[in-house]
Chain A
């Protein structure tokens, strides 16, 4: 068992240094806030996700909102833009309490949220998108000339070299992002809230994007943005607010904090018996899987080895290429170069079936879209991956399927009120257990689990962690890909941290802690790979 004493050393000073609003004699925070959150709490059903969070947003200021996955950033942004209503607390616009209208109607107040998955009609033109729902009319007929001219002036204004007549589907992601910004500008946005705008942008595109942000800031627009890239937060923001587990941890002027301090503020959590005791792995055991110089879409020169019975963690930010590595290994996406050795022999899995037959299975992070047939029952779902095993003569052996289902229900404690229920009607936790049972039907020797506990309750999480440990104890090598730092730390013998398609570093044993991983993931620390 590891100890996590580090985590108790929460940077308390931060709280003491937090400024209290207008009375701070700081050049950048002069002026009353346009939009403020005052003691906002939010619960979904009985699950609290935000605890009395406060935040002030001022004109001409870029305010970064950071925190780990699940810290409540998205919820706070949705409350700030009216898409969700707080359970308690107040939203103030220009100093007076206001109940923000939902469904994007807050745009009338000048508050615009740009979702991470952009809201543009792909088959329509830039001009049509910008004016969608507010088309200019001239005696009942669309006034295209006027609309085109308006959009063109905006595009010129931000220096974007596209035409109003370009179709959205022909644009790059960065350009689409810019179109969203133009759309917000055309709605006279006073507050622009952006959810991870740079997550999908390249470095060059990010630069272009930041140039626009600075321009907007100069015009007096208040900007709130969420990012996991701490270097970017340092580069562009004036204020930074940190959330952790739904709690407000601190608000600081960015110039007063280093990315390292930010990382420290983001992490920190007590870990109890959530995780099973860790078995020592035989460090002399042979490598089951050896990947050398793997290159694939989104993956750049990745090499690693996996021992028998080892639990290897893959950490990193969303979009760092972790999933892409394993989709390439398992034959789901084509590889460009690199070698894979399985049991010391070269292996080239062209199809998922070939990987499965060799003993490597991949459990997707997207259980609803890629994992389970929601409209079907548990039995066909359970046997689907390992179906060749269930063939007797020409037909599927239903008795064997039933027996396997009964075993899986017992082994993985799948709780269904009725075995004939559609899988879509099971709870998320039971779906995840069924998915784990489904891939385990293939009797794998290497099990790759992508986000093992996404969107499931803590009790089921604990069960799944124990299943994973038990599977590894049986001699199966397990790779856990996860964005949840605690589970990586609590489960894994060794952690590979990825960043921008490459391996940023490998952390082993006692060195596995959150700040170490965050530093690699955010690009603050780099390990020279041979």
Chain B
């Protein structure tokens, strides 16, 4: 054997430090520092809790989106899906009051309904993409429109409101804390850990990456490409249903404006986190940081008068573009040797 084959030694700690992977974390730290300098109240316990809670919706959805995007797909329907699930949940719970009363049973029925709808909607997106052989962009653009109009129809153009008594029972899911952290944050943490494990430690995560890198290689390597791709959409649907379950008690209502632009925020969080839009490289940790970064920008703008709060979208947009520009620099170097 030659010397080169012997150099399979462990890489040094320094080499293991990947600037690209650390980018989102550095960006978040910088944002927090800016926030603190502008107003020390930024780092108060109340504000941090608030920030984490608000990140939870987009964060949970973005964890699902990381799987879809890593496997080379895209799901534009998540915002509308959340809206229609919220609407149907409210209708079902209001309807269940007569039979099951205003207790916890009714809330559980609503939650079960949400999960079934989420899984089902994800399955529809997945099957249309894989078995129907329609581009994911088209499929989810279509379902996005369908779900959005359905919620408007269910609400008759107005707002669906949850029965006042159930609201009292359901309210703690959003507003209560457990061990110092609000329940939505706990859900976010659990989803993140499960997502990270699934992506980085299981065969399924490996398959998603392989499919996103090169579908032919995946096919020739005995991977059931259609099944794995469909499952990514089902996971996305499950994440949307979980996000909706913690979102509904916040306002206790759903309307045609519920979840508007969530799909773009989720995709933005994924991309800021370092996942490659064309697939093949997914980072759950990055996605979580991405979601936190997006929420933090809005939060900082609330704390300062220097930039109008109305420019929130501008700041988010700039961050997305800069983040991807930084990633491209790195990827370009790798690709140039092809």
B and A form one assembly: yes
- Size range of the interface on A? 35 or more
* Contacting residue for A373 out of B2, B7, B217, CB 8 A: B217
Q: Report B-chain residues with C-beta under 8 Å of the C-beta of A385.
A: 221-222
Q: B334 contacts A353, CB within 8 Å?
A: no
Q: Among the listed A364, A387, A419, which residue makes an inter-chain contact with B8, where contact means beta carbons less than 8 Å apart? A: A419
Report how far A332 CA is from B222 CA in the complex, Å.
Answer: 9
Give 1 or 0 for each of B268-302: 1 = CB within 8 Å of chain A CB: 00000000000011000000000000000000000
Measured between beta carbons, the chain A residues less than 8 angstroms from B209 are 373, 376, 380
**Does chain A have a CB within 8 A of B219?**
yes
Cα(A405)–Cα(B214), bound, Å = 21
Cβ < 8 Å to A, chain B residues 167-222: 197, 201-203, 206-207, 209-210, 213-214, 216-222
A388 to chain B: which residues have CB within 8 Å? 203
B314 at the interface (CB under 8 A from A): no
B4 at the interface (CB under 8 A from A): yes
Inside 8 A of B202's CB, which chain A residues have their CB? 391, 394-396
A371 vs B201: C-alpha distance when bound (angstroms): 23
Give chain A interface residues in 397-446, CB to chain B under 8 Å.
405-406, 409-410, 413-420, 422, 424-425, 438
Contacts of B222 in A (CB 8 A): 351-353, 355-356, 385
CA distance A228 to B2 in the complex (A): 42
Interface bits A134-158 vs B (CB < 8 Å: 1, else 0): 0000000000000000000000000
> With the chains together, A530 CA to B216 CA distance in Å?
37
Q: At the interface, yes or no: A194 with Cβ under 8 Å from chain B?
A: no
Binary flags per residue of B1-45, CB closer than 8 Å to A gives 1, else 0: 110110110010001000000000000000000000000000000
Q: Which B residues touch A373, using CB under 8 A?
A: 209-210, 213-214, 217, 280
Residues of A contacting B2 with CB < 8 Å? 415
Whether a CB of chain A sits under 8 angstroms from the CB of B328 is no
28 contacts between A and B (CB under 8 A): A352-B220, A362-B220, A366-B216, A369-B216, A370-B216, A370-B220, A371-B220, A374-B213, A376-B213, A380-B209, A380-B210, A385-B221, A385-B222, A387-B207, A391-B203, A395-B201, A395-B202, A396-B201, A396-B202, A410-B1, A410-B5, A415-B4, A417-B4, A417-B7, A418-B7, A419-B7, A420-B11, A424-B334
Contacting pair B337 A372 (CB below 8 A)? no
Q: Does B338 contact A (CB under 8 A)?
A: yes
**A353-B222, A375-B213 known; 12 other A-B pairs, CB under 8 Å?**
A332-B219, A352-B222, A370-B219, A373-B217, A384-B218, A385-B222, A388-B203, A394-B197, A405-B8, A415-B4, A417-B7, A418-B7
Q: Which of B206, B217, B219 makes the CB contact (< 8 A) with A372?
A: B217
Complex CA gap A440/B235 in Å reads: 33
Which chain B residues border A415 with CB–CB below 8 Å? Answer: 2, 4-5
B133 touches A (CB below 8 Å): no
Report yes or no: A384 in contact with B210, Cβ–Cβ below 8 A.
yes
A window 15-41: CB within 8 A of B:
none
- Name the contact of A352 in the complex, choosing from B1, B15, B219, B281 (C-beta under 8 A): B219
- Complex Cα gap A357–B316 (Å): 49
Q: Which residue of A lies closest to B205 (CB)?
A: A396
Say whether B4 contacts A416, CB under 8 Å: yes
* Contact of A424 with B201 in the complex, beta carbons under 8 Å: no
Q: Which residues of the partner chain A approach B337 to less than 8 Å between Cβ atoms? A: 424-425
The closest CB in chain B to the CB of A374 belongs to: B338
Residue of chain B at shortest CB distance from A366: B216
Is B221 touching A375 in the complex (CB atoms < 8 A)? Answer: no
**Please, how many angstroms separate the alpha-carbon atoms of A371 and B218 in the complex?**
8
Distance of A435 from chain B, by nearest CB (Å): 10
Chain B residues near A424: list those with CB within 8 A: 334, 337-338
CB distance from A429 to the nearest CB of B (A): 13
Bound together, the chains give a CA A239 to CA B198 distance in angstroms of 64
Chain A residue with the shortest CB-CB distance to B8: A419
Whether the Cβ atoms of A395 and B197 lie closer than 8 Å is yes
- Least CB distance from A384 to B in Å reads 5
Q: What separation, in Å, do the CA atoms of A465 and B337 have in the docked complex?
A: 29
Known: A373-B210, A391-B203, A420-B11. A414 touches B5 (CB 8 A): yes
- Interface digits, A345-384 against B, CB 8 Å rule (1 contact, 0 not)? 0000001110110000010101001111111100010001
Given the complex, which residues of B lie within 8 Å of A372, measured CB to CB? 217
Closest 4 CB pairs of A and B: A395-B201, A352-B222, A353-B222, A370-B216
In whole angstroms, what is the CA distance A438 to B213 when docked? Answer: 17
The interface residues of chain A lying within 8 Å CB-to-CB of B8 are 405-406, 409, 419
A417 and chain B: residue at smallest CB distance? B4
Contact B5 A413 (CB under 8 A): yes
The distance from the CB of A375 to the nearest CB of chain B, in whole angstroms, is 6
Nearest B residue to A424 via CB reads B338
Give the distance in Å from the alpha carbon of A417 to the alpha carbon of B203 in the complex. 28
Taken together as a complex, chains A and B put the C-alpha atoms of A364 and B216 apart, in Å, by 10
Which residue of B has the minimal Cβ distance to A390?
B203
Distance of A353 Cα from B224 Cα, bound (Å):
8
* Assembly CA distance A332 to B216 (angstroms): 10
Residues 204-245 of A at the B interface (beta carbon under 8 Å): none
Residues of the B chain whose Cβ atoms lie less than 8 Å from the Cβ of A410? 1, 5
Least Cβ distance of B139 to chain A in Å? 21
Task: For residue A328, give the distance in angstroms from its CB to the closest CB of chain B.
Answer: 14
CB of B221 within 8 A of CB of A384, answer: yes
Chain B 215-246, CB-CB to A under 8 Å as 1, else 0, gives 01111111110000000000000000000000
Enumerate chain B residues within 8 angstroms of A374, measured Cβ to Cβ: 213-214, 338
Name the contact of B206 in the complex, choosing from A352, A380, A416 (C-beta under 8 A).
A380
Q: A351-B222, A375-B281 are contacts. A394–B7 as well, Cβ < 8 Å?
A: no
Flag if A387 contacts B203 (CB, 8 Å). Answer: yes
Q: Which residue among A355, A375, A376 has the maximum number of chain B CB atoms within 10 Å of its CB?
A: A375
- The reply to whether A396 and B206 form a contact with Cβ atoms under 8 Å apart is yes
B242-268 vs A: 1/0 string, CB under 8 Å?
A: 000000000000000000000000000
CA distance A388 to B221 in the complex (A): 11
| Residues of A contacting B4 in the complex (Cβ-Cβ under 8 angstroms) | 415-417
Inter-subunit contact A369/B11 (CB<8 Å): no
Across-interface contacts of A418 in B (CB, < 8 A): 7
Contact mask for chain A residues 470-505; partner B; CB cutoff 8 A; 1 contact, 0 none:
000000000000000000000000000000000000
- The smallest C-beta distance from A4 to any residue of chain B, in angstroms, reads 32
Most buried by A among B5, B11, B203, B217: B217
